[in-house]
Amino acid sequence: MKSLKKLLLLLIIGGLIAAAVTYFRDTAAPIVQLTPGNGSISGKTPLVLNLQDEGAGLKTLLVEIVQGEMRQVLLQQDFPPRTPIAQLTLQLDGKKVKEGDLTIEITSGDQAIYHLGKGNSSTIRFEMTYDSRPPIISVLSRAHNFRHGGAGLVRYRLNEDVEKSGLRIGEHFFPGFKQDSGDYIVLGVWPLEMKAKDFIPRIMARDLAGNERQAGIFYHTIERKFRKRKINLSDSFLQQKAPEFETLAPGLSDPLDIFLKVNGDVRADNRRQIADFALQTSSVPLWQGVFSRQPGASTLANFADQRDYLYKGKKVDHATHLGFDLASVARAKVLAANAGEVVYAGYLGIYGQCVVIDHGLGLQSLYAHMSQLDVAAGDQVSRKQQLGRTGSTGMAGGDHLHFGLFISGVPTQPLEWWDARWIKNNITSKLNQP
C-alpha cells in the first residue's frame, strides 16, 4: 500500500512538473520587425513586416494606423497552428492618412498556453512621418545650350530634403549636388548616341518618402557632324600589340582576333570602369577656370571621330573615338588640365597606363597611353602639374596622349572646356549665380 501511495505521489509530482514545463515553455511574445521602421513614408512606400515565434507559433496580428484620435485598421489576421514565421507587405495606399506624424501600432500574439491560455502578446509602435507630396523643383538657371556630345550646367532649388535628384536624359542620369547656398548644381551631356529628337532633358527629384517629380528646362540644341575615319590595321601593328593584350584575350592567339576582342569587349568593360570612377567625385567644383590643353601638341584624332577598322581592305570593326589624340615629342610631359584629385592611376585595357582626375560635380579627365606615371590615387593635383609622360601603352600605334573628359561616366567634348568664353557663359556664370 505504501509503495502504491509513493508511486502515485511520484506520478502526481511528475505530472505537475510536466505541466509546469509545458506552461512556462514559451513565455516570450513574437519578435516583430518593420522595414522601414522610421523616417518619411508615402502611400506607395512598401512596409515589410517580419514576425517570428519559434516557440508555440504565431496566432494573431493586428496592425493599426494611429494619428491623434484617429485609429484605423491596416491589417488584421489569424495564423494557422504551428506558423513560426511570416513576412507581410503593408501599404498605406488607399487609406485615409493625413500629412504629418503617424504611428504604426502592431499587436501580435502566439499560440502559447501561458497567461491561462491567452498566450503571449505585445504591442510595438513605430513612429513615422507621412508625406504624399512630391518635391517642388525650381529651375534657377535660364539658357541651356547643348551641342551634340557637349555639356551643360543646370542650377535648381528644392523645397525639401531628397533621396535623389539630378538631370535625366534618356537612359542617362546625372546626379545633382547640393551646395552651401542650398541650391543644387548638375552637369549633364547630350550623349553622342542620342538623336536630337530624343534629347529631352528633365530635372527629377525623389524625396525621402519616395515621391518623385520632374521639371523641364529651357534649352537649345546645336547639331554637330563628326568625322568619319578609316583605320588600316597592318600585320606589324597587330603583332606589335598582341603580346600586351594576350592576358586580356585568354584563349586567343591570332593577332586580329586579339585586337577585335580588346577593341570590343575590353573597350566596353573599360567604359564601365570609367563610369564607376564617377562615383568618386566631389560635391563641389575642384577646378578653376579654363582647362589647359597639352602644350605644343598636334591633334592626331578628334573627339567623336567615327572609326572604321579595315584589315586587308575589309571592314572588320567600328568604334567611336571618345577624346583627343595629341602628340609632340616622345615621352613628353603630361600636365593636368585642371585642379582635382586623382581617382585612378594604373593600367586600364585599351587606355594602357592612364590617370583619371576628378574635378568635382562628376567631371573627370582621362590621360591615356602613358609610359610613366608620377601620381597615385588620392593625390591632390594642381593645374599644369606633371602627371607623367606620354607613351604608346594600350591601343596606341605610336607615342601620344589620349585626352578625354567624362561627366558622370558619359564622354563629353573637350573643346568646350578648353574654351574660356564657353566656360564663362555656360558654366561659371551659373556656378556664381546669386
Q: Read off the pLDDT of each residue in 107-133 and give the average, rounded to a whole number.
A: 84
2 within domain boundaries: no
Residue 3 clears pLDDT 70, i.e. is over it = no
Which of 100, 130, 160 terminates a domain? The answer is 130
Domain of 199: which CATH number? 2.60.40.10
3 within domain boundaries: no
Q: Read off the pLDDT of each residue in 341-352 and give the average, rounded to a whole number.
A: 97
| pLDDT (tens digit per residue) in 389-407 | 999 999 998 999 999 999 9
Indicate the pTM of the whole model. Answer: 0.87
Domain limits at 178? 137-222
pLDDT at 151: 98
* Residue tagged 508615402 (cell numbers): 42
Domain of 93: which CATH number? 2.60.40.2550
Residue 348 clears pLDDT 90, i.e. is over it = yes
Clarify whether residues 188 and 259 are in a common domain: no
Residue 19 clears pLDDT 50, i.e. is over it = no
Clarify whether residues 304 and 272 are in a common domain: yes
Clarify whether residues 245 and 337 are in a common domain: yes
pLDDT at 7: 53
- Cβ(398)–Cβ(325) under 8 Å? no
Domain of 247: which CATH number? 2.70.70.10
13 within domain boundaries: no
173 within domain boundaries: yes
pLDDT at 345: 98
